[in-house]
Amino acid sequence: MTKDEALTFIPDSDPESISSDIAGFGDLLVSTQIPIYEDGSLELGDIRAQTDCTLRNLKRSLEGAGSSMSDVLHLTIYLTDMSERSIFNEVYRAHFKKPYPVRCAVGVAALAMEGIRVEVMALAAKRR
């Protein structure tokens, strides 16, 4: 493994977190985000508010790692209610422009914390 291919981990800002904010390998980055504010409080409003908060977190994390929303290659979207997918998509279009990332949406019974309705996992390119 060369220096450019080293695994990198950017810690989550929460010292109690058991997950890194971003993991990287060479020019690829992976991040998973939920609707949580920088102060640690959760956004537990409707799917529109939770999606916006989650995608803003993703933007901030990617930019901090030398990437951007336009560098996202793939998103996995987890929704606790698939009937809210169209609302998620409305907010998504405000954060992403064409060409859109490859993506899939997965309906789940629950997420890690009660009240969270959306979680996203992104694979992005890192710009040099």
Answer with the residue of higher pLDDT: 119 or 21.
119
Predicted confidence at residue 88, as pLDDT, reads: 98
- Which residue would you say has higher pLDDT here, 121 or 128? 121
Residue type at 64 in one-letter notation = G
Q: How far apart are CA 82 and CA 23, in angstroms?
A: 28
pLDDT-derived band of residue 11, with 50, 70 and 90 as boundaries? Answer: confident
pLDDT of the residue at 61: 94
For the chain, domains (ranges, CATH) are 3-125 (3.30.1330.40)
Single out the residue of 77, 73, 25, 39 nearest to residue 55, CA to CA: 77
For residue 55, name the pLDDT band (cuts at 50, 70, 90).
very high
